[in-house]
Amino acid sequence: MRKLLFALLACSGLVYGQVPAASAPATKGPATVENQFLSDFAITRGFTLGRPVRIQPTPDGKAVLYLRSEGRSSSMRLYEFDVATGSAREILSPDRLLKGSEEKLSPEEKAQRERQRVSTRGITNYQLSEDGNLILVSLSGRLFVYTRANRSVRELSVGPGTILDPKFSPDGTQVSYVNDADIYTFELATFQKRRITTGGSADLSNGLAEFVAQEEMGRFAGYWWSPDSRFIAYQQSDARAVEVWQPADPAKPEPTEYTQRYPRPGKNNVKVRLGVTPATGGETTWLDWNSDRYPYLATVKWDKGGPLTLVVQTRLQRELAVLTADETGKTKLLFTESDPMWVNLDQEVPRWLSDGSGFLWTSERDGAPQLELRDPKGALLRVLVPPGTGYVPDKSNLSVDEKARLVYFRAGDDPTSTQLFRVSLDGGEPVALTSKPGQHTFARSKDQGVYVVSATDPQNMMRSSVYRADGTLVGKLPSDAVEPPFKPNVEFVKVGPGTGYHCSLVRPRNFDPRRRYPVIVQVYGGPGAQQVVASMGSYLRTQWLADQGYIVVSIDNRGTPRRGRAWERAIVGSFGTVPLDGQVAGLQALAKRFPELDTGRVGITGWSFGGYMSALAVLRRPDIFKAAVAGAPVADWLDYDTHYTERYLGLPAENARGYKESSLLTYAPELERPLLLVHGTSDDNVFFLHTLKLSDALFRAGKEHEVLPLSGLTHMVPDPEVRIRLEERIAAFFRKNL
């Protein structure tokens, strides 16, 4: 959903969080609804607008590029921080590029941003040429190239059509892009464009990643340049056998141009093949692999120092194969990874070393993620990061200093935090570079002379600092963000038998230890995402809710990541039991430890998988949960997509019991607690269909419930006015029912 992961944005602001924080000073008098905070929270997207994002040092380490909006605006601009002077300046803005014209996005561009969970406007992405001299920006269906040396901008005459996935060739002489499902190149010296593929259409596209690749695999590219800029490898997607779904807005019944091919469990997927063609155009050489056994093209890499390398998966994702390809299209198997449950993907690997001596790989075969160095034939040379380190695959921030033979990455044995580490390619113990509880990421220049560390902790929102290679602080990237008016009163604990459950508790800022408080469980509970994370931003909206007289708790149950293979895979075969049992067990353990929790008054709320969990909780455990707000819930897993659902539940024909046990429709006749369903009517991830089907089942069973449709909204809720009203409605619902 992209593992349903980014649905956390919808209900908790952003996935920036917090660790055991000191309580803010207690306020006197009864808790009140702070409408000014709610307004500020909504307008600033959880106080994240105005902070630097998409941070990228230039290859020579002399500057740092980043995107940033104003604190109360979602329109992004491009900035450059000068390392020598420590000053920053704006270099590109939407007004400069569009000359006052209104930004317009095609339905395809909107869909791509939805897959990437981008809700801002303006310059939302950019690409730097390998030499650092040029910057490529796509805006409103137009392409612009900025030359850093003379600060000039020129627009590329790419013509009409839907422009997607623009990028520089490795040598920086060309820009490639997909226009109406075919690949084109644009020669910067001559200003001439060339069509590379033909025959592209909505149903047979060239150079575009299909829906499940973007939503579930984390792969957004559909074509790749060779390191010498002579060839282009591209994906051709045949979607003609896949069902057509239309995420239309019922409030706008006029016909829509945008439809999508949506593959459901047990039904047809998009058929994908990979070809290589000269960058000047010509015949395509199609790669040959056993696509019947491995129908999913999961990852493609064409790194300097390595051959064209691809990772392919079986349909049930219990095995993947790492292959290399030669100029004839013949593929060679390097090795396979298998797991009787499923094999996780890591889009950061394989990562070839530029001297061709081998590549980095991630495996879980020893019980938890580990980083490996393998030789060019795929044989294991050594384990660089052992399982006990808490390596974070797919978000590892991998960076390699080949001259110093060092690998930089993210890890941490505390799953609520991520720290920065380095390790030698020649072996040895990983060295921690940070230790403070919180979330840490970094970006390093190609020459390794400059790096940027971004961090959030219990006392601060995300901030980004620029350092030289020797650790000298250059300065902080300027922020225009509105700062939150308080620090969350959050406590982190681990409770329960055995390995226990990581939990967070947010108490009112005027907390009275003599009182017992009703409890609201803020839940996600599904694969691929954590609710209990050490970052301030994750608990701001939660604090607002707690201040109205609740203790808000979160529990990461079995099935969530960063607790090892066995913990994560405990949910295989059914969503309807283990996750909910974990929430109940964690809640009961918290109640034993904290008498201020009134477990006779417990509500639950979440979005996406968290919405599913919330509805499941009041349907299956009304003895524990007295009211629920379910945002964008998956009502029936037969109506979700193949790659996500089959990974955990298998094929419907082979696991009918698991699908039935996991379906909310199965338990609809048992509803006896208040339930509010909230859903965007134009959601193209968890379709509005899910809430309609659940509401219909409840209605037919004679069960009262509430439905709040968010007209025209998708899986995200970026509209400030809608966000304010939604939070007020959720608070009122719990005030009435708890």
Distance CA 312, CA 288 (A): 12
Tell me, what amino acid is at 99? K
Extract the tokens encoding 524. 């996600």
Closest CA to 491 of 421, 543, 441: 543
Distance CA 659, CA 669 (A): 17
Mention every residue, 6+ apart, whose C-beta is less than 8 A from residue 480. Answer: 50, 68, 69, 70, 71
Helix, strand, or coil (residue 7): helix
Helix/strand/coil percent split, the chain, to 5: 20, 35, 45
Closest CA to 367 of 177, 227, 563: 563
Say if residues 413 and 390 touch (Cβ distance below 8 Å).
Answer: yes
Helix, strand, or coil (residue 658): helix
Cis peptide before 674 (omega within 30 of 0): no
Say if residues 431 and 421 touch (Cβ distance below 8 Å).
Answer: yes
Tell me, what amino acid is at 72? R
Distance CA 486, CA 491 (A): 15
Cross-strand pairs, 552? 506, 520
Distance CA 542, CA 489 (A): 10
Distance CA 633, CA 698 (A): 14
For 648, counting Cβ atoms within 10 Å of its Cβ (0-12 exposed, 13-18 middle, 19+ buried), the class is: buried
Extract the tokens encoding 710. 């968010």
| Catalytic center residues | 608, 683, 715
Say how far residue 43 (Cα) sits from the centre of its chain: 22
Task: Name the H helices within 24-101.
Answer: 35-43, 94-98
Separate counts of helices (H) and strands (E) for the chain: 13, 44
Say if residues 128 and 58 touch (Cβ distance below 8 Å).
Answer: yes
Say if residues 413 and 389 touch (Cβ distance below 8 Å).
Answer: yes
Q: Where are the beta strands (DSSP E) in 528-646?
A: 551-556, 597-607, 627-631
Extract the tokens encoding 317. 């994702």
**Residue 58: C-alpha distances to residues 65, 336, 472 (Å):** 7, 36, 18
Say if residues 652 and 629 touch (Cβ distance below 8 Å).
Answer: no
Distance CA 508, CA 485 (A): 15
End-to-end CA distance of the chain: 31
Closest CA to 621 of 698, 571, 696, 675: 675
Distance CA 135, CA 129 (A): 6
